[in-house]
Structure 1
Amino acid sequence: MFCNLNNIQSENIVTLAILIFVGWPMRNINTHILLKMLRVLLLMIAGMMVFPHVSNAQFYNGSQMSFGKNRVQYKEFQWTFYKYPDYDIYFYLGGKELAQYTAKYVKDNIDDIEDKLETGFNDRVKFIVFNNLTDLKQSNIGLVSEEQYNTGGITHIIGKKVFLYFDGNHRNFDKQIRAGLAQTMVNQLLYGTSVGSQIKNTSLFPFPDWYMKGLVSYISEDWSSEIDNRVKDGIISGKYEKFNQLTGDEATYAGHAFWRFIAEKYGDATISNIIYMAKVSRKLESGFLYILGISFKNLMDECLDYYGQRYKQMDSELTLPEESLLKKVKEKTVYSKLKLSPDGNYAVYSTNRAGQYKVFLRDLNTGKTKKMMKAGFRLDDKVDYSYPLFAWHPTGQLLSVIIERKGEIYLYYYRMGERKAEEVILYQFEKVLDFSYSDDGRSMVMSAVQRGQSDIFVYDIGSNSYFQITKDGYDDLYPRFIHNSEQIIFSSNRQNDTIRFERQFNPDAEERQKRYDLFLYKYVDRDNVLRRVTKTPLANEIQAMEYENNYITFLSDANGIYNRYLGRFDSAISYIDTTTHYRHFTNSYAITDYSRNILEQDVVPGIGKYGQIVYKDQIFKMQIFDQELTTSIPQLKLGNTPYMQNLINVFGDLQKSGDSRYVETGKEKPKKKSRGFSTVRQSEAVDEIIAADTLPKDSKIDINNYTFDTPGAVDSTKIKQGYDLFGVPLSGKKKDKKTPPKRRNYNVEYFLTDLVTQIDFSYLNQTYQIFTGGNSPIYLNPGFNALIKVGVTDLLEDYRITGGVRLNLNLINNEYL
């Protein structure tokens, strides 16, 4: 039973207290505890008698305040920015290199985005660059305000802010920049730039996820093996038949495929017209009907039929193992990081569902699974799938786990049979991308990020120190020790085989290869010249590791699907002078012909097993198989997917015409208009000339049987770093290098974000109403009123200011906020 204490007098409170104690069952209460309770109650009664109005404070006729929300920040960010003619780049400590790279990439690619949408930017764009996703999640960006729950009468003022973060891969970083530019330009095309135009267009039909996300993805990212694999699975599984119900990544992939279909059939120019017509007619379907002359339903049927014919026939000719490590696999859960122990007794893996990840250890002998770790929360936010990372000690009795927590990188050592783990904080790195043990278990090879660059490091466990192998702007990923830990193999998008051990060298996007090749580093000799293992202009080679003696295995999308390949190291006599010189090469061939991509692989030669993860029918499948001997594995000849065949045809035509340029979309793009002078480094041009393709121009590319040769007569190692072809030091020459603008401090500035205009029957300030007697409380409803409210926020959304007024018809009982 509840009562209103607001109307109980002080003398009645004493009477109530006596009645409570008289009626209390005394036999079950200790005398000492009873005296304590009585003392506390008497103090409360005395306080109410001395300060009688305090008891009414929580029921006074005041306002119910809405307090701001802040995410927990574990470090302080000191923001600075570069001011360019058309955009600003904001960054903080450790992000200067990323900011300069962003500025250069925006300048080189903004024309391409504008050409695709046939429009240009009218206002300045502000890029906010975070060093990693963890730092971005510490910011207040994206926090839901009370205006976002409002069902009507609110206009969200769309700004020109693009938030970026670096995950260790410049290719992904480039996609973010292009996606930010595309999203900003699409918003400008739909809603305008002025406040008046955005108020006018605020009643536009709410576009589904596949429409907006797919459009931004199509403009910002070229078709790839990853997108092709996800779209194929969505079409064949029937998931895309309910287009408007798709959410998340599936909506993005489906929308990308839809806009690509329109561009291929009707032309790129129709896309901007469709968007404009949808804006004018305020209906999504009208944009397609008026521009393409076909209803949206029929257009969608044509799209599904187009991709259905493209995929179903080829998919029926290929196979994929149906085995699964787990009997029951949850939907909408990402399974990753499958690692087998060197003794073959355990397998560790992680699951991630909307940001909450779990680590499981499975006993392969008994089939029992134990949860080792659980962290994170299920939130509608960007999900970091890069953590946790696992590596087994060669003994199989120690599991190392790397995670991020509170802005720091933690390395845990779990010993089998023990419940507690040893903890080490890796202060040296901003992010760790991958790691694995050496054969003696005393060191680890890591791909880690420092100052906006992913490089290769060897971490010494005993001394908690590291030896840095690469230190340049190329992306170096998936390192592994091979050949008794004397060599390290890794994937990289570098163009030449010489390690540039300098922090200032940060190549532009055009100076990086479009694809990832394999490189070999002689760790035992500390040689600064790498050995190129693969050279494939149209394919990626990733996740290389040792298979057998003198053999490696890796994943490659040479036919458009990531399959497993074997590579054998070999050598032959190159020439003889006073000594015999050898040239090294690698023969590789495919050993799987799957219908889906192999997303991850882990091979343990000592136990003759390997694990892999594939994605089929909208779920992730983890699989473990016995490793076959190289002598019994047939060399497979793979058929190309339509996507890859198109790339090969275009690349062949460009080679015949003497043009070595190619694009990933399968069609040549015109040269972009330059907005300034580009930087040409002579040392890079020298390396590029010497490392040019030595194959004859009339030779054909056989993607099923690569032979990669290391040049013998002309070697790039003979050109000293810092000298030109004539031996003249480059340090004495004038360099054509454009310096960045002045670095400025960021001062808080506010932007209009929300404008509310409503007519309703509500209070601006929600209040408690005093009980006035009667059988039940009487709530006084407000009268008919008009509400006007304006909200502003700063650039980083740390500060919000809201002001408003509620006007009554009699202009007497007005409220102000």
Structure 2
Amino acid sequence: MSRTSLKSLAAFAFIACLFSTNVVHSQAEYQTFGKNRIQYKNFDWKYYSSKNFEVYFYGRSGDLAKNTIEYLESEFSRITEVIGYFPFAKTRVFLYNSVADRQQSNVGIKGRDFTIGGQTNFIKSQLELAYTGDYASFKKKAVFSVTDMLIQEMLYGGNIAEMFQTSFTTPIPVWFTAGISSFVSAGWNKESDDAARDFLANNRQNKFVKLGPEMNVLLGQSIWNFITQRYGLRSISNVLNLARILRDEETSIERTLGVPYSQFLNEWRAFYTGIGTQIAQTNDSPNPDFIITGRNRKDATFTDIEFSPSGDHFAYASLDNGRFEVQVVDTKNQRISTLHKAGVKLINQEIDNQLPLLSWVDANTLGVVYSENGENILLAKRLGEKGEQRVVIPLLSNVQSFEFKEGGRVAIMTGDINGVSNVFVYNLVRGQIQRVTDDNFDERDATFIKGTNQIVFSSNRNTDSVFVSGPATLAEAEGNQFNLFTYDLDFPDSSFNKLTNVLATNLEAYAPNNVDVYYLSDQQGINNLYRHNITDTISTQISNFALGVKDYSFDPNNQRLAFVSITDGKESVFYQSFEGVNSRFSPVTPRRALEVSKILADRRNDKIVSNPAILDSLTTRLSAPAVKPPEQKLDSLKEGAINTENYEFASESKVDTRDYQFEKPQEDPTVSGRSFLSVYQNSEAEKGVQGPFLYENRIQTNNLVTGFMIDQIRGFALQLQIEMNDYLENHRFSAGTVIPTSLNRGYDVFAEYKYLKERIDLSARYSRKSIVALDRQAFLDQRYNLDKIELGFSYPLSQTTRVSATPFYARTQFIDRDFRLLIPITAVNPQRFNEDANQTASFLGLSGEIVYDRSVVVGTNLHEGTRARLSMDLYGGLSADARGFNNVELDIRHYQKINKGLYLAAKFYYGSFFGDAPKRFFLGGVDNWLLNRTQVGDPLTDDLSFQPLFNSVINNTGVDPNKSAILFNRFANLRGYDYNTFQGSNVLTFSAEIRFPINQLLQNSQIKNNFVRNLQIVGFYDIGSAWDDLSPFEDRNNQNIEEISTDGSPFSAIINNFNNPWLQSTGVGVRSMLFGYYGKLEMSFPIQNFAIQNPRFQISIGYDF
């Protein structure tokens, strides 16, 4: 190893260790970009097991896990009966204490990024479930998650054949699959009812493509509710099972329900439009002129809204996939300013839609509660001033609400500890949390009654006593009834005072004085504002909106209202004058009437089940007593003898053999109306829950790639790759091979292990790359091998940035297998042939990179955002024949949405080899190019010009036949040119594309064809150059000067040919999915030496940059 290489290697090693960095590899081998998952804590998993589930938990959430598995078992028969599918194996549920904890999971870290094609993902009976903070909402979420997982398994992963078939079919839309799950878990709820009426009022066509995923789910839920109301509950399983076969949701609905799909959608529209028309006659629609948040192009959700104590300002928080902004509105001029930004935009991860929360400390200081780095943070920031105060909220896992008391020294909160929801007082001076309630009931939206130490909160408790434990199981927790309670903090042993007592959900209480309490209620079917008078205990409806109010803040002094509601499928913040005094009335909606009747029926059934004597008494009153005939005494017969003259059968009734009526068995009220499958599952269910057991690492297959690729040197090749991991994807194993169809052209193999459980990710990898240069006519038969062993260390700085370092050992081998080398030749020493025909070189080195990725996938071959990668490789020679070299690369990509259906993508790439033996970049061509062409230059300088060792020695050509540099050289893309049009130790390229996705341009058209759905039209411009020592930015560069010399002459001349050192191309292209692979066809117009050349067509497979 040279001294220069040793110094460079030592310097880079010191820098890499200082930053704890990780590895970078080519796109063909690794996914170099992507988000990071950061582990802030260790998860020691255990699990409970039952017949159909395994629920995994950690920490002190064992009771919650046991309640969860018992509840899921009780719901399992209902779920499977509705969807008509029974899983092949137990369902594994990984239970997280909060969304913040779940965001640390490695499951699904690869997300939706693209593969070249031929990838089969294995559907697993597994899901991750984050606790919501209360039993009522968690029950619905648990049922939704299990149902959605079963539907995915049903449609895409029942067996290996279906998994392979799925990789070639168009996915069924979200409204169809997740809509069923939402309906099974929540039924016909107010959210889906509002969404359907809002969508139909603002859209004439029944197209959901342009809507966000949440709105798609709600509309899908409304569709399945309509199917149930019109065609019956059993129709769901029929439609699903047909969709499993046909892989087409429209045809499945048509054939199952017996109506054309368009007619079905019109019936759905008429169903909800009729309800909407009825509601519009009595209710007021929110006025769009009062919207202050614009059109909400980002489709953000608004988590909280609060007026300041003086009413001069109000603040609201907008959440966009994990990144949030706190905006403050000046009520005098309605000017909006941004007070605080935080969070990271997350993709393919669950978002906590409850945070951030807002509360004013005083007229000019706003408090914000949000989650960061796995902790709940309370931030206080003054308006118009820099700086902020931050504290970590102790103990609480899920903060559902919070409010400062006057003075800002104490706050009231609702949240959970160890899975139990309660009300807490947070003393900010002491940093202590104190319980107010201590039971298993759910508490929400606690607030102070202004000027007092009394609080108002919502709860599903059915008693006012403080000395009760609450529901023992999830099934017992009330989910549809939340009432308002007050409690005096000065009297900790007093009872709770129940303010409201209705079969409704009363939330978001606000008490500006000790008389009036404002709150939201769905008592009439739509969330509206109510006012409760504590003195006379009368509640009055004071708003009459046709669409539900999600959140609100009321300023009674100035009679102004700010609230959140939906309009045209998106949330908006409304700001308007509002007296809050006048009584309003709205009739009960059809949905609410059905819901109330079901609640009352369920309560009657619960009474019968809990007290069977009620049913027995009814049966006794309805049945007549049997009358026995008088007994006859027989004196002439002995005891036990049979009277054959007058024999009577034991049965009192006689059988009419001509018209016999079978006896009907007595109906069991607990199983009436249920299918045989449901009854059978319950009869076979294991009542006991086993465990807890320690978690064991079990390996499962994640995906399998069976495809092809086109190597620039070896040509068409088969690609096989498998990836396996444990349940939590903390341990990953992958292996693969690339085998050219011409089996004598070489191969690639690799095997890799990654350990991702801790903050620092570790990896170990072995790879071998073999290239064979073969030309029988020229007696060329050479093999080049590269063996590499790597140990990687990766440290994520954030979800978007990571640094990595990878020390490695590499060994190259050159073998010339020309049979002529075995023939003795007197003019050549045989030992030379033996040494030159088998050469090896060993390297010890270090690779490092910094990766930044703030891009998001918005469609097939479409991103938005920015991603960048800076890498450096240092190779230090260990053997005498190994000459060290180094490489640095910079790759920056930006994706920008211009407008509907129009995207700009740009890429800047720079690479440089340097050191004792710098390698080369080959500029031109594209990856995986069918019918590709390569330019081959002078054997003295071109590593792609292979020469037999025998010819070089015998003819004394001066050409080194060992082209092992080809194992390290890089190809740089430039459309419209052959491979290796330019080459050099440095390369610089820039590419820009305008992408037109057809499916987004035709949002109002129903595109069923997979090829058309993924079709894109692209316009592009590429420019690049490669050079050695004279850059193209100089007048004299490596592309426009030539050195002319004559053998034996001491003189030489340098001629400037004035060639343009830049290769350019422009053109158009189309790309789409075909037979499971993403293909591209491009027509390029090369621009070389300032002249536009004839167009060239290039066909390739794989995605763009």
The alignment's TM-score, normalised by the length of structure 1, stands at 0.75
After TM superposition, give the deviation of residue 477 of structure 1 in Å. 0.4
What do the CA deviations read for 1:71-117 (whole angstroms, capped 9, x no partner)?
11112222221222322111111322321121111111111101112
Give structure 1 stretches of 5+ with no counterpart.
1-9, 11-41, 49-57, 572-585, 662-667, 678-737, 764-778
The percent identity for this pair of structures is 23
Counterpart of 1:141? 107
Residue in structure 2 matching 1:287, options 240, 252, 255: 252
The superposition leaves residues 137-194 of structure 1 with CA deviations (integer Å, 9 ceiling, x where unpaired) of 1111221269x62353222110000110012132322122112221232233324533
What residue in structure 2 maps to residue 39 of structure 1?
Answer: none
CA displacement 1:258-279 (0-9 Å, x = unmatched): 1222222222222222222223
Q: How does 1:517-528 map to 2 (within 5 A)?
A: 517-528=483-494
* Residue segments in structure 2 that go unaligned for 5+ positions in a row: 10-22, 610-670, 751-1105
Matched, 1:275 2:240: yes
Contact 1:470 1:501 in 2 (8 A): no
Which of 701, 704, 725 does residue 752 from structure 1 map onto?
701
Pair 1:167 & 2:132 matched: yes
Q: What is the CA–CA distance in structure 1 between the aligned matches of 2:276 and 2:117, rounded to whole Å?
A: 44
| 1:592 lines up with 2:558 in the alignment | no
Q: Specify the alignment match of 2:466 in structure 1.
A: 499
The residue matched to 2:178 in structure 1 has which SS?
A: helix
Does 2:444 align with 1:477?
yes
1:329/1:62 CA distance change after superposition, 3 Å: closer
Structure 2 counterpart of 1:628 = 579
Q: How does 1:180-195 map to 2 (within 5 A)?
A: 180-195=145-160
Check whether the contact 2:323–2:345 (CA below 8 A) recurs between aligned residues. Answer: yes
Cα pair distance change 1:153/1:554, threshold 3 Å:
same
Per the TM alignment, residue 739 of structure 1 is displaced from its structure 2 partner at its CA by 8.5
| Cα distance in 2 between the residues matched to 1:298 and 1:513 | 36
Distance 1:470 1:808, change over 3 A: same
1:102 to 68, 75, 87: 68
**Gap change, CA 1:289 and 1:658, over 3 Å in 2:** closer
Distance 1:255 1:455 in 2: 34
User: Following the alignment from structure 2 to structure 1, what is the Cα–Cα distance between the partners of residues 404 and 27?
Assistant: 64
Q: CA deviation at 1:490?
A: 0.5
Match of 2:433 among 463, 466, 469: 466
CA distance in structure 2 between the partners assigned to 1:461 and 1:74 by the alignment: 25
User: In structure 2, what is the Cα distance between the partners aligned to 1:275 and 1:292?
Assistant: 12
Q: Does 1:371 align with 2:338?
A: yes
The secondary structure found in structure 1 opposite 2:216 is helix
**Cross-structure match for 1:775:** none
Distance 2:232 2:463 in 1: 38
- Offset, 1:197: 4.3
Structure whose alpha-carbon radius of gyration is higher: 2
What letter corresponds to residue 645 of structure 1 in structure 2?
A
Counterpart check, 1:815 vs 2:748:
yes
Change (3 A) 1:62 1:337: closer
- Partner residue, 1:426: 393
Aligned residues: 665
Aligned residue for 2:103, secondary structure, equals helix
Structure 2 distance, partners of 1:410, 1:676, is 46
Tell me which residue corresponds to 2:37. 71
Deviation of 1:126 after TM superposition, in Å, equals 0.3
What is the distance in 2 between the residues matched to 1:788 and 1:616?
A: 49
The 5 Å alignment of 1:312-391 reads 312-322=277-287, 323-324=289-290, 326=292, 328-331=294-297, 332-381=299-348, 382-391=350-359
Whether the 8 Å contact between 2:699 and 2:726 is mirrored in structure 1 is yes
TM-score, structure 2 as length reference = 0.56
Instruction: Answer whether contact 2:192 2:219 (CA < 8 A) is retained.
Output: no
1:414 and 1:112, CA in 2 relative to 1: closer, same or farther beyond 3 A? same
Q: Could you tell me whether the CA contact under 8 Å between 2:127 and 2:145 is conserved in 1? A: yes
Change (3 A) 1:279 1:137: same
**Aligned equivalents of 2:608 and 2:315: distance in 1?**
45
Q: Is the 8 A contact 2:282 2:587 kept in 1?
A: no
How far residue 570 of structure 1 moved from its aligned partner, in angstroms, is 3.5
Is residue 614 from structure 1 mapped to residue 565 from structure 2 by the alignment? yes
| 1:701 aligned partner | none
- Name the residue aligned to 2:1066: none
SS in 1 for 2:511: strand
SS at match of 2:743: coil
* 1:501–1:441 distance in 2 versus 1, CA, 3 Å: farther
Match of 1:789 among 718, 721, 725: 721
Q: Which of 154, 157, 166 matches 2:122? A: 157
Contact 2:122–2:157 (8 Å) recurs in 1: no
- Counterpart amino acid of residue 372 in structure 2: R
Provide the secondary structure at the position in 1 that maps to 2:715. coil
Q: Which has the higher helix share?
A: 1
Amino acid at match of 2:233: D
Q: Deviation string for 1:378-415 (max 9, x for gaps)?
A: 3333222222211112x423322212111112212223
User: Whole-Å Cα distance in 2 between the matches of residues 218 and 815 of structure 1?
Assistant: 49
Structure 2: distance between partners of 1:162 and 1:43: 53
> How far apart, CA to CA, are the structure 2 residues paired with 1:61 and 1:426?
43
SS in structure 1 at match of 2:252:
helix
Is contact 2:134–2:419 with CA below 8 Å preserved after alignment?
A: no
Q: Is the 8 A contact 1:215 1:259 kept in 2?
A: yes
SS at match of 1:374: strand
1:403 counterpart = 2:335 = no
Distance in 1 separating the partners of 2:374 and 2:693: 26
Alpha-carbon distance in structure 2 between the residues aligned to 1:68 and 1:336: 31
What amino acid is aligned across from residue 415 of structure 2 in structure 1? A
Give, as a single letter, the amino acid of the residue that structure 2 aligns with 1:643. Answer: R
Label 1:145 to 1:654 Cα distance change in 2 as closer, same or farther (>3 A).
closer
d(CA) in 1 for partners of 2:116, 2:252? 26
Compared with structure 1, are the counterparts of its residues 45 and 670 closer, same or farther at alpha carbon in structure 2 (3 Å cutoff)?
Answer: closer
Q: Which residue identity does 1:752 align to in structure 2?
A: T
Distance 1:569 1:151, change over 3 A: same
CA distance in 2, matches of 1:458, 1:62: 53
Give secondary structure in 1 for the equivalent of 2:550.
Answer: strand
Contact 1:806 1:816 in 2 (8 A): yes
1:402/1:302 CA distance change after superposition, 3 Å? same
The AA in structure 2 aligned to 1:622 is V
The letter for the 2-side match of 1:289 is E
Within a 5 Å distance, the mapping from 1:355-754 to structure 2 comes to 355-381=322-348, 382-393=350-361, 395-482=362-449, 484-500=451-467, 506-537=472-503, 539-570=504-535, 586-605=537-556, 608-626=559-577, 628=579, 633-649=581-597, 741-754=690-703
CA RMSD of the aligned region, Å? Answer: 3.4
Does the 8 A contact of 1:324 with 1:621 survive in 2? no
- 2:232 is the alignment partner of 1:264: no
Change in Cα spacing, 1:367 to 1:260, as seen in structure 2 (3 Å) is closer
Given the alignment, which residue of 184, 194, 206 partners 1:241? 206
* 1:4 aligned residue: none
Question: Are the aligned partners of 2:84 and 2:238 in contact in 1 as well (CA < 8 Å)?
Answer: no
Is the contact between residue 495 and residue 511 of structure 1 (CA under 8 Å) also seen in structure 2? Answer: no
For residue 971 of structure 2, what is the aligned residue in structure 1? none
Task: State whether residues 342 and 606 of structure 1, in contact with CA within 8 Å, keep that contact through their aligned partners in structure 2.
Answer: no
Cα gap change, 1:152 to 1:313, in 2 (>3 Å): same
Shift of 1:650: 5.0
| Residues in 2 aligned to 1:330 and 1:212: alpha-carbon distance in whole angstroms | 26
Q: 2:271 aligned with 1:303, yes or no? A: no
The structure-2 alpha-carbon separation of the partners of 1:110 and 1:324, relative to structure 1 and needing over 3 Å to count, comes to: same
